[in-house]
Copies of this chain bind each other. A is one copy, B any other.
């Protein structure tokens, strides 16, 4: 109802791409040692040109560092954001699984939902994962 609602959602969307990218970059580094642009091309199903543009913005915003033709690295801020985003993502996905949703659906839905979950809602989900469902 309050008009600030939609402003917050616009902010959520503004940080969404950054969050998903740093998470994917951290995953690639964890799994394959380095992250190359092509890893992100496959992961997000966008073109190499789009990845390049996006990485440029992330670098501008201090989340990654790249040098021409080199793998993509995360800054300290990028690593922090990646860790934090992954934690939140895991809680949302785990919660959906707990709700009885299939693994495939939980994976897909949580990828969008995660960016719109406030601290309060995240805590409620976490509580379910550790303590079980609320009474009644």
Contact = CB atoms under 8 A, between A and B. Distances in A.
Interface of A: 1, 3-9, 12-13, 20, 42-46, 96, 98-102, 105-109, 111-113, 115-118, 120-121, 124-125, 127-128, 132-134, 136
Contacts of A108: 5, 8, 118
Closest 4 CB pairs of A and B: A112-B116, A3-B45, A133-B133, A9-B112
A117 to B, nearest CB: 6
Copies in the complex: 2
Given A1-B107, A133-B134, 12 more contacts: A3-B42, A6-B43, A6-B44, A6-B46, A7-B45, A98-B136, A99-B121, A99-B124, A99-B125, A99-B134, A109-B121, A133-B136
Nearest to A105: B120
Contacts of A43: 3, 6
14 contacts: A5-B107, A6-B20, A7-B45, A8-B112, A9-B112, A96-B121, A96-B124, A98-B136, A99-B134, A100-B127, A101-B121, A109-B116, A113-B113, A133-B136
